[in-house]
Amino acid sequence: MPELPEVETVRLGLRPVMEGAVIDKASVRRPDLRRPFPPRFARRLAGRRITHLGRRAKYLLAELDDGNVLVMHLGMSGSFRIEAEAKDTLPATTHHPRGKLAAHDHVVFDLSSGARVIFNDPRRFGLMDLIPRADLARSPLFARMGIEPLGNEMGGALIAGLFKGRAAPLKAMLLDQTRIAGLGNIYVCEALWRARLSPSRPAGSIATGRKTAANRADALAAAIRDVLGEAIAAGGSSLRDHRQANGDLGYFQHRFAVYDREGEPCPRHDCSGIVRRMVQSGRSTFYCPVCQK
DNA sequence: CGCATCCCCTGCCTGC
DNA sequence: TGCAGGCAGGGGATGC
């Protein structure tokens, strides 16, 4: 499912029921997701208060009152749903019947707020871990992670520096989480279209030349920032299974310019191109061969 | 080191 | 209707 906007949407939805709540009980229904749960995972969560629910790139970070951080990644197909207790005042807007667990419900948190939060992940590419807050930045998951694309340091100069001298296609560089962290296949395609840049162009080529180079890097930085911001405002993109935590669908998918639109006309007003699909690094790239150079 | 390929897993859609 | 094949929003391991 999720790239940064979907993870942020999930965070905003979970925050009201998770922040400040105590995990009365946690349970895991299988030994692993992409990798095993850490030792005594469920027991170590029981009784802990969640002091803050944050995000880094595509990771959700639930800070606990014992100094640990519950790290959660949704992988390709992970999702959370919230079920309110009958006594609770939360609206019954979830799309799944209250009370019974479904296939692929792997983790259940029963919270003092009265809510039950359930993690479902059919493909099991997600992961959960428990890491001391003081070690988080140095831990393997985060040590080499790139910059936040919505952070203050993001800009044309920074992208130009990150990509300078690189021969790999721009698309591949943008998916590389050790440079910019949080973009995935959809938003890379959309950002490249907005910046009028070809996915095949050598990444370093946006940082060479004279004034046009700065323009390209600036345009790309702005496109990334804009598309992510707009997608978050729209509640993310719902292709198959992404929903906001209240069960509502995101709706940014209606505003895709190129993603999954092979054969359709390029939506740019002054362009007569037809959206094409190609495969790069084993993944589909959608682009307009006419206006993306 | 940089880059490409393959793999993990399940579900859904297409075409035969 | 069934079945095979391809594809999917992520990321890590491997090999050249």
- Give residue A88's pLDDT: 45
Q: Which residues of A108-144 are buried (b: 16+ CB within 10 A; e: fewer)?
A: bbbbebbbbbbbbbbebebbbbbbeeeebeeeeebee
- CATH number for A156-287: choose from 2.60.40.10, 2.70.170.10, 1.10.8.50, 3.40.190.10: 1.10.8.50
Instruction: Note the pLDDT tens digit of each residue in A178-231.
Output: 999 999 999 999 999 999 999 999 999 997 665 566 689 999 999 999 999 999
pTM: 0.94
In this prediction, residue A156 has a pLDDT band, given cuts at 50, 70 and 90, of very high
How many angstroms separate the CA of A278 from the C1' of B16?
25
A268 Cβ contacts chain B strand, under 7 Å: no
Q: What amino acid is encoded at A112 in this protein? A: S
Helix, strand, or coil (residue A136): helix
Phi first, then psi: give them for residue A181, nearest 5 degrees.
-110, 120
Question: CA(A1)–C1'(C9) in Å?
Answer: 4
Q: How does pLDDT run across A98-149, given as a tens digit for each residue?
A: 678 999 999 999 999 899 999 999 999 999 999 999 999 999 999 999 999 9
Can you give the pLDDT at residue A95?
53
Q: Which two tokens stand for residue A67?
A: 């100094």
Q: Is the CB of A263 under 7 A from strand C?
A: no
Q: Report the topology of domain A4-135.
A: N-terminal domain of MutM-like DNA repair proteins (3.20.190)
- Amino acid A224 reads I
The residues spanned by each domain of chain A are 4-135, 156-287
Q: According to the model, what pLDDT value does residue A92 have? A: 47
Strand partners, A68: A132
Q: Which residue has the higher pLDDT, A30 or A90?
A: A30
- The two domains A4-135 and A156-287 share their CATH topology (first three levels equal): no
